[in-house]
Amino acid sequence: MPQESFGFASLLLSAHWVVQLVLALLAFFSILSWAVALKKYAELKTTVFLNHRFWLRFHHEGSILKLSQELRESDRCPLVRLFVSAMEEWKVSTRHRHAQRQPLEERIVRILSLRLLEENARGERLLPILATIGSSAPFIGLFGTVWGIMNSFRAISATQQSSLAIVAPGIAEALFATALGLVAAIPATIFYNLLLVRANRIHLDLEAFVEQLTIRFSRQFDDMATSAR
């Protein structure tokens, strides 16, 4: 068998259609994992920047009522969306002069909890794709490997020969499927772990902000009660 027949194009063209399908699927998975990882990395990086910028505004602004007038729920920052949701409930409830503190605080906490779940789900969006590729690609490659070895045994059975020229194509297909499966799986697994850590850090920041915001609302209620006396 000529040496050039072991090139990528030659292996792909001469491979069994099942192996070709496996290789095409793994190539698609590899491209998809890179595309998802780059998109998610940019998204999380932007989220970290926006959250940090709002944290600074939140700490330097003494009045949450004044701060709420400058913000909209459509903002891309998760902290802003949490803040605006809580402020909407605050404004609706405090329109009534006899609004009771405990029920209002409980409603705000529930709203923030629901919003927190939504933001966490949004932060982990697309990550299951990387997890799926990382866990399934080696087995898909293994399937192509088994099929390539079966082709080698079929060739031996059909020709009654076991020379390298007979078994080499099937073995090459098998090894190539294994390699491509790892090429798709390893980066996807690394990307998933790194991005999940970043998403979890954002989740911790959101939880800390919810606690800070709850304290601010409690202080605001104290100020309202003092001024009403």
Predicted confidence (pLDDT) per residue in 176-229, tens digit? 888 889 999 999 999 999 999 999 999 999 999 999 888 888 777 766 656 555
pLDDT of 1 higher than 90? no
Give CA–CA dist 147/19, Å, rounded: 7
Give CA–CA dist 90/35, Å, rounded: 41
Q: What is the pTM of this model?
A: 0.80
Q: Return the higher-pLDDT residue of 124 and 19.
A: 124
Predicted confidence (pLDDT) per residue in 113-152, tens digit? 999 999 999 999 999 999 999 999 999 999 888 887 777 7
Q: Return the higher-pLDDT residue of 131 and 104.
A: 131
Give CA–CA dist 126/114, Å, rounded: 21
Give CA–CA dist 33/130, Å, rounded: 6
Give CA–CA dist 133/181, Å, rounded: 9
Residue 3: band (very low, low, confident or very high) from pLDDT cuts 50, 70, 90: very low
State the pLDDT at residue 99: 58
State the pLDDT at residue 186: 95
